[in-house]
Structure 1
């Protein structure tokens, strides 16, 4: 495909538009192409289909081009009309291909919502976990009840909240489902019932007061923190900043940071 060929020749532009390097993209194609072939065989051999396998209209974009188009959509969160112009297909085609690629990638990169699953090698490297909530803007609901639930007093706008769990290597281990922006981080954690490896320290901010997490020492009213307390808070923030770095990497993809408009994919 012309767009893919041009971007391969310009690796910096490829990275800026897709969010991943060319070598990582090639690895991703190798990992997901067999899954796509399996899903295509299932689609073409479904009950009720009149045409034989091999008959019917063919895709204008090959698998690699479809995957690149989906990644550019995640990175830029631009309109389907513009992507269709860039890749030479219609807006409905962009919508369908992005939807199918999203389902394929979600199955390949499945992240649990509350249970942390680690290999034996990962368990050996695990020193501690970090938990934090991140908000993303959403459209203001027309219904007063939903409007009140989604309004975040912290952000002063309507948002959805996701709970993120990372390890000491800043790897994202779990992402919770979207919650109303009004919900407090601790309430989201209590309802999620996180399942983690035993005897592992978990770091959180002051939003997780009342949990078993390691949280900063809160300044008493009309009193100052001691030098030991300040030193502990510096140690704590130096470790916990890793979850902020992980969230920052996520939000480099505009689909995670701009106003959410894909109601079926949240």
Structure 2
């Protein structure tokens, strides 16, 4: 009953039944292969396959993970839905979440982007414009006495955050989410850590739109990054200059607003509106949600055509 209710109602996972079916067909054999390899790697007294059988089949493990990512449902609640112990749900999510994160972002049926280098090559080959923006995800406060505790305090929101860089195309489709860094890291250092500056300086000619947080990155990338127009005249600037600057600023904002829409869709998943799990899992969570969102976006575009 739980399985049927989750698949039939898109509000449960944010995914259509067709996308869930594709996930089952793709990830099921991979999960089974890794599970068998994990069993074979341990010293055993019984043959592989002996003993108690799983009460939670792979389809239910996948659905539990999707509901957890979408709504942040507690493991205890999911355990009640599926009639298993809490530890079983915890183990299932820990196994399925990395599989979802490794899939990458779907740009067409069967074609995915898994690294930032692949994203830059994709944009360059198609002559497309990319849009980047950093977003912060609220995180738990680090334990008292931890040496790097202050690193997670964002200078913008004044709270404990982690930051990720989102790359979208001109249609607002998410192409990549970078590994997370502590919230105190500014946008430009985070872009450097992700390798964006090196890829743009040495790679194909790509136009990347960014906000004022990336001001100065254009000079480091040979003009590939275009930021909001800089206000050169301050104070008693003439009216014609104010009008020109406002017109340029609005034109730039109207082009890059689509990445903001992509970030909004990402944060429709409660797992990214506020992360309550272990900090070492947050990168997998971000990239898993980005991959699921891009898959659903691509499916919607394909069906619309």
Calculate the TM-score normalised by the size of structure 2. Answer: 0.78
RMSD (CA atoms): 2.3
* Alignment map for 1:239-254 (pairs within 5 Å): 239-254=255-270
- How far residue 113 of structure 1 moved from its aligned partner, in angstroms, is 5.5
Structure 2 SS opposite 1:152: coil
For 1:154, the equivalent position in structure 2 comes to 156
CA contact (8 A) 1:208 1:215 kept: yes
Asked if 1:259 is matched to 2:275, the reply is yes
Range with greater deviation from structure 2 (240-249 or 68-77)? 240-249
CA contact (8 A) 1:136 1:260 kept: no
Give the Cα–Cα distance (whole angstroms) in 2 for the partners of residues 62 and 167 of structure 1: 37
Give the Cα–Cα distance (whole angstroms) in 2 for the partners of residues 144 and 91 of structure 1: 29
Of the three residues 173, 176, 186, the one matched with 2:175 is: 173
Structure 1 SS opposite 2:2: helix
Asked if 1:5 is matched to 2:18, the reply is no
* Alignment map for 1:147-226 (pairs within 5 Å): 147-194=149-196, 195-196=199-200, 197-212=203-218, 213-219=225-231, 220-224=233-237, 225-226=241-242
Give the Cα–Cα distance (whole angstroms) in 2 for the partners of residues 176 and 265 of structure 1: 14
- How far residue 154 of structure 1 moved from its aligned partner, in angstroms, is 1.2
Give the Cα–Cα distance (whole angstroms) in 2 for the partners of residues 199 and 91 of structure 1: 51
- How far residue 149 of structure 1 moved from its aligned partner, in angstroms, is 1.6
Rate the CA distance shift 1:156–1:249 in 2: closer, same or farther, 3 A. Answer: same
Give the Cα–Cα distance (whole angstroms) in 2 for the partners of residues 184 and 20 of structure 1: 33
Of the three residues 234, 249, 253, the one matched with 1:237 is: 253
CA contact (8 A) 1:135 1:159 kept: yes
For 1:93, the equivalent position in structure 2 comes to 88
**1:183-210: CA deviation from partner (whole Å, max 9, x where unpaired):** 1111211233212551111111000111
For 2:137, the equivalent position in structure 1 comes to 136
Rate the CA distance shift 1:173–1:188 in 2: closer, same or farther, 3 A. Answer: same
Rate the CA distance shift 1:242–1:223 in 2: closer, same or farther, 3 A. Answer: farther
Structure 2 SS opposite 1:65: helix
CA contact (8 A) 1:116 1:173 kept: no
Calculate the TM-score normalised by the size of structure 1. Answer: 0.88
Asked if 1:109 is matched to 2:109, the reply is no
Structure 2 SS opposite 1:154: coil
- How far residue 124 of structure 1 moved from its aligned partner, in angstroms, is 5.2
Rate the CA distance shift 1:118–1:204 in 2: closer, same or farther, 3 A. Answer: closer
- How far residue 140 of structure 1 moved from its aligned partner, in angstroms, is 2.0
Q: Which structure has the highest helix share of the two? A: 2
Runs of 5+ consecutive residues of structure 2 not aligned to the other structure: 106-112, 219-224, 283-305
Runs of 5+ consecutive residues of structure 1 not aligned to the other structure: none
